[in-house]
Structure 1
Amino acid sequence: MFQVGDKVLYPMYGAGIIDSIEEKEVLGVKGQYYLLNIPHVNMEIMIPVGKAEDLGIRQVVNSEVVDDVLRFFFEGDTDPVMFESNNRFYRDINKKKMKSGDIYQESEIIRDLTRKSNLHKLGMEDNNMLHTALQLVTSEIVQVKGIEMEKAVEMLQSVINQAKEEKEKQEALG
């Protein structure tokens, strides 16, 4: 059970803070609810305490995990199937990764779609997926590092730009 003030991640919505735990009556049934404030989308969500685990809600990762994600962001291979123009199978895999709430899987989505965008313009669905993954990861960085969203976006963009520059250098060398 989470406590008031806990920083948590709600997959597909992002990281936020448990503002309160209240007893509410919804559709004639009383129950305990977390009131989760997700600041980056200016949203407050009521979540039944007993359903939090089923919804994939978890504590935000620690600072070392964020540092690890940023340090190794572009390591690993991208499945070549991802580069096929209209691959529904890969999009379904990305949706599962997103719903997992796992910061490593979310960063894989960003890595792979960034690589794909370097080859050609992303379609609307891929672009939306990339945008959502970026929001989820940056919202968690905000909560973990205690920084403003703009600073978290800059941090992540710096990692993406650095990887792109390294790739261009490698291609120029040979």
Structure 2
Amino acid sequence: MFQIGDKVFYPMHGAGIIKAIEEREVLGKKREYCIINIPLNKMDVMIPWDTISISGVRSIVDRKTMNEILFDFHNVESDCSLPWKERFKSNTEKLKTGRMEESAEIVRDLLHRNKEKSLNTSERQMLNQAQRNIISELVLIKDITADEAADLLKQTS
């Protein structure tokens, strides 16, 4: 499973580093918790150790996979043919998976859509969340700043 110092991605908040695994009492019940420091959000999250596998926490992708995702992000054509309601539902499901590839597809497709027609508030929020997910993981994978990670996304989009 995971150990202290592992770089992980938590779909609810982004990429971080496991800083501790410790027993805590919450609401009168003692449990082991995984404490993850999320640098981009400047916060720590506690996830019960016995639910970590169903929480969506995963190891961050490696550099090779990230480079492939960025290549596809910049070179694969966007598909915005779905009506708004279906597109939003599909993108919501993709975002919940926490998979880097899915977040990159959301960003690529919504940026393309935004060039054609202004996004509504819900899709703008979804775009921002997906961008934060990618940026948080890029920061840990490539050991760069959030601004440098954001620039990687803007290079050809």
- Identify whether the pair has TM-score above 0.5, normalized to the shorter chain: yes
Distance in 1 between the 2:43 and 2:89 partners? 26
When the two structures are aligned, how many residues end up with a matched partner?
156
Q: How does 1:81-96 map to 2 (within 5 A)?
A: 81=82, 84=83, 87-96=84-93
Moved more, 69-78 or 11-20: 69-78
Deviation at 1:119, TM superposition (A): 0.3
Residues in 2 aligned to 1:59 and 1:72: alpha-carbon distance in whole angstroms:
21
For normalisation by structure 2, the TM-score amounts to: 0.94
Report the aligned-residue RMSD. 1.2
Take 1:98 and 1:132, find their aligned partners in 2: how far apart are those partners?
Answer: 8
Q: Unmatched 5+ residue regions in structure 2?
A: none
Counterpart for residue 144 of structure 2: 147
Equivalent residue number for residue 169 of structure 1:
none
- For residue 71 of structure 2, what is the aligned residue in structure 1? 71
Which residue identity does 1:119 align to in structure 2? Answer: E
Distance (whole Å) between structure 1 residues aligned to residue 141 and residue 102 of structure 2: 18
Q: 1:2-151 residue pairs with structure 2 within 5 A?
A: 2-73=2-73, 74-81=75-82, 84=83, 87-151=84-148
Q: Which amino acid aligns with 1:101?
A: G
Stretches of structure 1 lacking an aligned partner (at least 5 in a row) = 161-174
Structure index of larger Rg: 1
CA deviation after TM superposition for structure 1 residue 7, in Å: 0.5
- SS at 2:55 equivalent: coil
Query: How high is the TM-score relative to the length of structure 1?
Result: 0.86
Report the AA paired with residue 34 of structure 1. Answer: C
Contact 1:12-1:132 within 8 A present in 2 as well: no
Tell me, yes or no, if the aligned pair for 1:24 and 1:31 is still in contact at 8 Å.
yes
Q: What secondary structure sits across from 1:80 in the alignment?
A: coil
Distance 1:67 1:54 in 2: 27
Tell me, in whole angstroms, the C-alpha distance in 2 between the residues paired with 1:12 and 1:29.
24
User: Does the CA-based 8 Å contact 2:80-2:113 persist in structure 1?
Assistant: no
Runs of 4+ more than 3 Å apart: none
